[in-house]
A and B are shown apart, each in its own frame.
Chain A
Amino acid sequence: MAGTLIYAEVQKGEIKKGSFEVTSKAKELGGDVAVCLIGSGVEGLASQLAKYGADKVYVVDGPEYENYVTEAYVQAFKQVADTVSPTVILASATAQGKDFVPAVAARLGVGAISDCVDLKKEGDKVVAKRPVYAGKAYAMIEAVADPQVIAVRPNSFAVKEVAGAGAVEKAAVSLDASKIKAVVKSIEVAQTDEPDQTEAEIIVSGGRGMKGPENFKMLEDLAKLFGPTATTGASRAAVDAGWREHSYQVGQTGKTVSPNLYIACGISGAIQHLAGMGTSKVIVAINKDAEAPIFQKADYGVVDDLFNVVPALISEIQNVKG
């Protein structure tokens, strides 16, 4: 089959937006678009994928897929891939995708291209564009052999609804349990409705200028106004100071994000931070130091005390929203 097979990721009973993004992109690139959906009790979700361009959805559903276990998922996916024999395999480069994609590629005996921000079709090949050297350069990469396994950074592509309903097929896969060696003993996920920073569309981030952990409440309030796709982030300075957990950290040693809007509050813009959010589509900086390097990167800069600007911005946005 000259087509694409997509790995669709499910979390908390929902298909991740990144999976829809790559599905839409696959449709745009042309050829048949198949999706492999793995999970426990996920069959009902399959039809959603069709909406974004899946011609066929292979569902691997069973209690053994309740938690993501690399080996189990790789085994299942490989069997689907063997059936489909796609030329391209796409996945969203979420935290799980980053674990899954190289493992699958290795199992298939091919190379993978990680964390791409753009894809371009050149003949039979998909040329992937991806940031390297912490975003200081971009590499155009293509795989030598099929299937070309590519992981795409969330928020890189828009989701596009298409007409037509794809077929849903329950894939018959068997697991070699003897090879599943890693056992998940427990999972602890923070009870938050906020999306992960790597996938959020809007991030309101705070740095040293926040002065203390208590002031992040204000950023959370602002993020909430932007809806469920918004979350908060933090610079290394704020994390090192113990004001925020490391999971909030955006930057070279934290998360690499590409949201549609990144609002940096009291962040000076050290290169380590810019490496993590430089690919954001719109950057707003609020900082009272007019010479903070963040303003070099910001599309919109507000030179003023964030403790005055942010509360005012919250009430203004409330006004705009009515």
Chain B
Amino acid sequence: MHGSGAEISREVFWNILGPGFPTEQVLLYVLVVIAFLLFFHGLAKSGFFTRMKAVTSAQGPDVERVNNAWDRFWYMVVDVFGHRKILREPYQGVFHLFIFWGFIALAITTAIVFLQADVIWPIWHVWFMEGNFYLGLSLFADVFGLVAIVGILMAMARRYFMKPTWLDEKGEDKVILWFILAILVTGFVVEALRIQATETDPASPMNPYIWFSPVGRTVAFLFSGMSMDALRDTHVVLWWTHVLGALGFIVFIAYSKLLHIVMTPVNIFLRPDTPQPPIKVMPPEMFENAETFGIHNLEEYSWKDLFDTEACMRCGRCVEVCPAFNTDKPLMPRDVIQNIRTYMENKAKFALDADGNYRIIPDEEYTGPALIGDGIEKDTIWACTTCMACVEACPAYILQFPKLIDLRRYLVMMESDFPAEVMDVFKGMENNSNPWSIGAHTRADWAKGLDVPLLSEKGEAEYLFYVGCAGAFDDLNKKVAVSLAKIFKAAGLDFAILGTEEGCCGDSAKKIGNEYVYQALAMANIETFKAYNVNKIITMCPHGYTVLKHDYKDLGGNFQVFHYTEILDKLIKQGKITLKQPIENLGTITYHDSCYLGRYNKIYDQPRDILKALKSGRLVEMKSNHAKSFCCGAGGGRMWMEEDLGTRINQKRTQEAEASGAKTICTACPFCYTMLSDGIKELELSEKLQAFDIAQLVAKAAGLDQNTNKAGNEDEQEAAN
């Protein structure tokens, strides 16, 4: 008998063990061992070990994954148990939290029971599962079991009633929730049968404490009319059902996305811990000696790239936030990961030799499906705006879109295979150092008549104002450059521009996959910056900000880089910019977070603080904001590509702005400014919506928007005439 005879406790294996030798107990543990053996068998059957062969055969370079192991471990523990990232989406977050903690609690309870019944009691004959501890444990297990059931029901409600478009459904998804629910419910029914049989009798010593198993007690009412024999018979059948279900669940983990229970925490531990944008670094030496660039063979990915696919449980959060998916383009970040996983299995059929060794097959010999084209379609590769929403959303710390950039690199640098319109962009960058291919000699024309100091004349300045191509060449954004120059001057900032010595930052080239052109552009800028001993740089464009701040480091360019919103925010707070009067007719204002300012660089507050300081209108948020902001559609070089598939991303975002009730959309990125201005025009919303860059508004509020450049003077003269 398992039980000390203590009154406030229960008999473990009640109704299960027969008299004498505990056959059933032994059987149970044999089954447990079998379950674990089947789990490993399942891993083999489901291709896990095959995939691991591919993972370990991967040859791509990877970053440090186990440095600061203790920090990584704690980060993982906090993330897993605290659901730091999962709770980003409240509904899904909560139901996962419920199921997770339900399972944890039940696992703890089971472990305690196991320790009591099979370790402590047999060896020391000590029974600690009694009294208040027992009652507490009962309550704990019951409550968390219920919590888990609530979680499962919420998940079912989502899958069967809410049916979000981004949620996929494979065979296993039809089973998993019902399976878990069945285990939980049978657990409660087994408990209820036991309670009905042993605790409802007022004479039972447990009777006063019967409600310490609230769920079990409640369910027991269902069985109140049953005879003791019936209770016992039903109990024994259901007990074994429950046990077999739970053990089956363990086996099922190996075959299904439930493996994430193991793999995702591992992936969290291995997450990249640098502040760098997640695109792989290509060392410049590579261009001297490498034979191939980018990725077109599975094994060219890094082991971690491939391992990522194990951690994906297809939750679809990355799909939910993807601007390409949301505008009907053939890109779902989840499916990129899943397709790589499937491709790993398909490729293994070719790569594994008779002895089961994974062999890297040279291109000439390989006859199987191609990674690009068969594994991942080209339209998918080109649809990405590199907005990083997928990476930000992923609770498993998987890098989805960077895997596409690797493929772009191959297509662009090895195959010259890219959307036709990109040809002019590359040539423009190569010949005139700007994607529009406007004559490089006109780069400083925007500043004519404004008396903007040139570094070549001034010699040195505290800040280099790096204008970037949009500010220098694009008519719409030249106005922003002019506003900034005026503000900096008015604030007495010691700054200068490079004029025609400035070059394209190269971000678009990099994200389109042309690392070669990117590095040439970057090196030229770095050289110029260094020649002038530049230390601090203010950029107008978040794209330039990102590459100058992070990526130029890899090429030996270490500078302190600021986005203009950081500088303006500081200048306003320091009182160096006087905002003279509120701007009229802005109405309600909304701020559109640029992906490259927000998700890439976590600059969320400064732009908003500036807008608040303008006191020119109420600030409202769009449905997607801050880290969840929705892309304008221009990142990743998409600015320069036709948007032939699906609907237009910029229009979707413009509609969000309209829905926010705002009259004015503010941006702090030239690409966003262009895309949203176009969105307003395309949707014919000019009556209701207007777009401005924040710098323009600051200039206006500071009384700096009168045209003081040459063209402006002429305007004024004409007006005077």
Tell whether any CB of A sits under 8 Å from a CB of B in the complex: yes
The reply to whether A271 and B439 form a contact with Cβ atoms under 8 Å apart is yes
Q: Determine if A214 is an interface residue (Cβ-Cβ < 8 Å).
A: no
Residues of A within 8 A of B475 (CB): 291
Smallest distance from the beta carbon of B481 to chain A beta carbons, Å?
A: 15
**Chain B residue with minimal CB distance to A289?**
B475
Residues of B within 8 A of A291 (CB): 475
Smallest distance from the beta carbon of B560 to chain A beta carbons, Å?
A: 35
Q: How far is the CA of A271 from the CA of B439 in the complex (A)?
A: 9
Residues of B within 8 A of A271 (CB): 438-439
A residues 272-308 touching B (CB-CB < 8 Å)? 291
Smallest distance from the beta carbon of A128 to chain B beta carbons, Å?
A: 28
Q: How far is the CA of A271 from the CA of B441 in the complex (A)?
A: 14
Residues of A within 8 A of B438 (CB): 271
Interface of B: prevailing SS: loop
Q: How far is the CA of A123 from the CA of B292 in the complex (A)?
A: 65
Smallest distance from the beta carbon of A252 to chain B beta carbons, Å?
A: 12
**Chain B residue with minimal CB distance to A272?**
B437
Q: How far is the CA of A18 from the CA of B438 in the complex (A)?
A: 35
**Chain A residue with minimal CB distance to B424?**
A240
Residues of A within 8 A of B439 (CB): 271
Chain B contact patch, size range = under 10
Question: Scoring B residues 425 to 442 as 1 if CB is less than 8 Å from chain A, else 0, what string do you get?
Answer: 000000000000011000
Count residues of chain A with CB under 8 A from any CB of chain B. Answer: 2
B residues 683-712 touching A (CB-CB < 8 Å)? none
Q: How far is the CA of A186 from the CA of B475 in the complex (A)?
A: 48
B residues 459-498 touching A (CB-CB < 8 Å)? 475
Q: How far is the CA of A164 from the CA of B245 in the complex (A)?
A: 114
**Chain B residue with minimal CB distance to A291?**
B475
Smallest distance from the beta carbon of B58 to chain A beta carbons, Å?
A: 42
Q: How far is the CA of A133 from the CA of B707 in the complex (A)?
A: 35
Smallest distance from the beta carbon of B439 to chain A beta carbons, Å?
A: 7
Question: Scoring A residues 245 to 283 as 1 if CB is less than 8 Å from chain B, else 0, what string do you get?
Answer: 000000000000000000000000001000000000000
Smallest distance from the beta carbon of A308 to chain B beta carbons, Å?
A: 15
**Chain B residue with minimal CB distance to A240?**
B421
Q: How far is the CA of A291 from the CA of B715 in the complex (A)?
A: 13
Q: How far is the CA of A178 from the CA of B438 in the complex (A)?
A: 50
Smallest distance from the beta carbon of A109 to chain B beta carbons, Å?
A: 38
Smallest distance from the beta carbon of B202 to chain A beta carbons, Å?
A: 86
Q: How far is the CA of A291 from the CA of B446 in the complex (A)?
A: 13
Q: How far is the CA of A14 from the CA of B475 in the complex (A)?
A: 47
Q: How far is the CA of A291 from the CA of B475 in the complex (A)?
A: 8
Q: How far is the CA of A312 from the CA of B532 in the complex (A)?
A: 57
Question: Scoring B residues 309 to 339 as 1 if CB is less than 8 Å from chain A, else 0, what string do you get?
Answer: 0000000000000000000000000000000
Smallest distance from the beta carbon of A157 to chain B beta carbons, Å?
A: 33
B residues 410-461 touching A (CB-CB < 8 Å)? 438-439
Q: How far is the CA of A55 from the CA of B438 in the complex (A)?
A: 51
Smallest distance from the beta carbon of B437 to chain A beta carbons, Å?
A: 9
**Chain A residue with minimal CB distance to B478?**
A291
Smallest distance from the beta carbon of B31 to chain A beta carbons, Å?
A: 69
Smallest distance from the beta carbon of B425 to chain A beta carbons, Å?
A: 14
Q: How far is the CA of A204 from the CA of B216 in the complex (A)?
A: 86
A residues 209-256 touching B (CB-CB < 8 Å)? none
Q: How far is the CA of A271 from the CA of B475 in the complex (A)?
A: 14
**Chain B residue with minimal CB distance to A241?**
B642
Question: Scoring B residues 378 to 410 as 1 if CB is less than 8 Å from chain A, else 0, what string do you get?
Answer: 000000000000000000000000000000000
Smallest distance from the beta carbon of B341 to chain A beta carbons, Å?
A: 40
Q: How far is the CA of A49 from the CA of B438 in the complex (A)?
A: 46
Q: How far is the CA of A291 from the CA of B439 in the complex (A)?
A: 18
Smallest distance from the beta carbon of B421 to chain A beta carbons, Å?
A: 8
Smallest distance from the beta carbon of A158 to chain B beta carbons, Å?
A: 35
Q: How far is the CA of A128 from the CA of B324 in the complex (A)?
A: 57
Smallest distance from the beta carbon of B683 to chain A beta carbons, Å?
A: 15
Question: Scoring B residues 136 to 165 as 1 if CB is less than 8 Å from chain A, else 0, what string do you get?
Answer: 000000000000000000000000000000
Smallest distance from the beta carbon of B635 to chain A beta carbons, Å?
A: 23
Q: How far is the CA of A291 from the CA of B479 in the complex (A)?
A: 12
Q: How far is the CA of A97 from the CA of B439 in the complex (A)?
A: 32
Q: How far is the CA of A271 from the CA of B428 in the complex (A)?
A: 14
Q: How far is the CA of A314 from the CA of B439 in the complex (A)?
A: 37
Smallest distance from the beta carbon of A257 to chain B beta carbons, Å?
A: 23
Smallest distance from the beta carbon of B640 to chain A beta carbons, Å?
A: 14
**Chain A residue with minimal CB distance to B421?**
A240
Smallest distance from the beta carbon of A197 to chain B beta carbons, Å?
A: 24
Q: How far is the CA of A291 from the CA of B438 in the complex (A)?
A: 16
Smallest distance from the beta carbon of A242 to chain B beta carbons, Å?
A: 11
Q: How far is the CA of A291 from the CA of B478 in the complex (A)?
A: 12
Q: How far is the CA of A230 from the CA of B438 in the complex (A)?
A: 32
Smallest distance from the beta carbon of A295 to chain B beta carbons, Å?
A: 12
**Chain A residue with minimal CB distance to B420?**
A240
Smallest distance from the beta carbon of B529 to chain A beta carbons, Å?
A: 29
**Chain A residue with minimal CB distance to B479?**
A291
Smallest distance from the beta carbon of B420 to chain A beta carbons, Å?
A: 10
**Chain A residue with minimal CB distance to B442?**
A271
**Chain A residue with minimal CB distance to B475?**
A291
Q: How far is the CA of A271 from the CA of B473 in the complex (A)?
A: 13
Smallest distance from the beta carbon of B244 to chain A beta carbons, Å?
A: 66
B residues 93-115 touching A (CB-CB < 8 Å)? none
Q: How far is the CA of A19 from the CA of B475 in the complex (A)?
A: 44
Smallest distance from the beta carbon of A243 to chain B beta carbons, Å?
A: 14
3 pairs of residues in contact across A and B, judged by CB atoms under 8 Å: A271-B438, A271-B439, A291-B475
The 3 closest A-B pairs by CB, nearest first: A291-B475, A271-B439, A271-B438
Could you list which residues of chain A lie within 8 angstroms of chain B, going by C-beta atoms?
271, 291
